Amino acid sequence: MILSGIAIFGFFSYAGIISLLEREGRASSNFFTLGLVVSAIYILIGISNFSYKEVVSIILFSFIALLFLIFILPIRTNKRISSDSPHGKIDERDTMFSRNELKKDTNNYIEYYKSQPENESIDNTIKDNPGLLSPSSGNYDKLMFSSSKASFFTIDALKLKVNGNVSSEKVILDKNDISKYIKNWTKKLGALNVGFTELRDYHKYSYRGRGEYYGNEVTMDHSFAIAFTVEMDFDAVKSGPLGPIVMESAQQYLESGAIAVQLAEFIRQLGYPARAHIDGNYEVVCPLVAKDAGLGEIGRMGLLMTPSLGPRVRIAVVTTDLPLNVDKPANEPSVIDFCTNCKKCAVNCPSNAISYNDREDINGVIRWQINQESCFDFWTKSGTDCGRCMSVCPYSHPDNLLHNIVRFGIKNSSIFSRLALYFDDAIYGKNPTVKKPADWMSIS
Ligand code: SF4
Ligand code: SF4
């Protein structure tokens, strides 16, 4: 009993220290308190001498053994995966970014709302809001918004480089070797994870909806896609919807965009067509490509949920004709199961944009879909891209031993998954606090 008490104290102290390093004050004190109380019970019973000591000891040992069995036994009660493919393609002109760029009395405006009249009123209401990165928005901060604008300015330069000339000398390559090379090099450039898939019709937008390419039909017919993720900084995400979140989003769009542009040029140098798909210049729907490339599942908040960082990533894609060894889709039922019970993103969303309901059939696929108008309405009032859903998601915790133990248990066992959800609420709170921006950012 005494040794068990010491081991329990050691584990909770470790969890408390990790939380302290993650600037999770509430979690840290909860872990230390829990460690002290539970280990004290075990140690006191170990050193005392009362009549039912053996019975109580057996009960306490059984409790530890039960928890261990729940963690280790692979019990998955529900395999709720939908492996269907969407019917048809998404028109980029229907996305909020595209609709928000439409100016009254222009041809694009008149034509779009003639075909989608139900969107006009809500879109005009949103356009009356201050807008993303606007000085009159709720979370305006001169330095943070200027930093974000600087990142978007640099992305604008990259947008011109997504395509290029293909070398006339085609290098004949072994599919295994070049697949391995690309995965390793992309990670070396800063990607977290990389996957390959055949490019399918539903991955592609039907029509472009942004900038000078507005209304152009997407005719790109590459055979393969390389999808990769980059990590978003934990502290910045935790401060959403304050300024650091939009700084970090912009910066990671830039980092992923630079890698994609570099990778596409590398493939063209080898004599194969390739195009980078980066922020504001996409011909594909990145989360759909990334899912089929085995990088994760689509969760309740409609974002890609990756195994090690959940939704706390940004995605970019390169499409090409270079033959690659494709990966299998993740088809991970534990994520769908966890999201079905969790709903923490829906509870914390400031605009009620995330559904509390079970998944629905949307365009031939059983999935969740957020209300993009409500979400964008909040963004254009906040001035930032919010990220509160990403910030509170239990999958967003850092990639370290403590959280990876929990991730293993969630993937392994449906019963542990329920327990983990309960503990996440108890330790971090049902409505975790918004982290203050780091001191060095707060000088305005
Ligand atoms: S917060 Fe919960 S419900 Fe929302 S995406 Fe994350 S795990 Fe799923
Ligand atoms: S980004 Fe914010 S407003 Fe949009 S769905 Fe997530 S929590 Fe809701």
Phi, psi at 309, each rounded to 5°: -135, 10
- Of the residues 395, 397, 406, 425, which should be mutated to test ligand 1's pocket, given the most ligand atoms within 8 Å of the CB? 395
Q: Is the pLDDT of residue 23 over 70?
A: yes
Q: Considering the chain, what percentage of its residues have pLDDT values greater than 90?
A: 83
What are 242's two structure tokens? 């304050």
310 CA from centroid of ligand 1 (Å): 9
Phi, psi at 304, each rounded to 5°: -70, 130
Confidence of residue 108 (pLDDT cuts 50, 70, 90): very high
Q: What is the pLDDT of residues 367-411, one digit of tens each?
A: 999 999 999 999 999 999 999 999 999 999 999 999 999 999 999
Pairing of strands 297-298, 365-367: unpaired
- Of the residues 297, 301, 430, which should be mutated to test ligand 1's pocket, given the most ligand atoms within 8 Å of the CB? 301
Phi, psi at 244, each rounded to 5°: -60, -25
- Cα 43 to Cα 188: distance, rounded to the nearest angstrom: 49
82 CA from centroid of ligand 1 (Å): 17
What are 372's two structure tokens? 């993009």
111 CA from centroid of ligand 2 (Å): 29
Identity at 251, one-letter amino acid code: Q
For 193, the 3-state DSSP assignment is strand
Q: Which residue has the tokens 């989003």?
A: 249
- Cα 30 to Cα 398: distance, rounded to the nearest angstrom: 18
What are 237's two structure tokens? 């995400």
Cβ of 353 closer than 6 Å to ligand 2, yes or no, is: yes
362 neighbors 369 (Cβ within 8 angstroms): yes
Phi, psi at 257, each rounded to 5°: -65, -40
**Looking at the CA of 354, which ligand is closest?**
2
Cβ of 245 closer than 6 Å to ligand 2, yes or no, is: no
Cβ of 144 closer than 6 Å to ligand 2, yes or no, is: no
Whose CA is closest to 241, among 138, 372, 355? 138
Identify the pLDDT of residue 83.
62
Whose CA is closest to 388, among 249, 184, 293? 249
Parse the chain into domains and list their residue ranges: 1-72, 92-390
What is 170-189 written as a DSSP string? PPP--HHHHHHHHHHHHHHT
Q: What is the pLDDT of residues 207-266, one digit of tens each?
A: 999 989 999 999 999 999 999 999 999 999 999 999 999 999 999 999 999 999 999 999
294 neighbors 195 (Cβ within 8 angstroms): yes
133 CA from centroid of ligand 2 (Å): 16
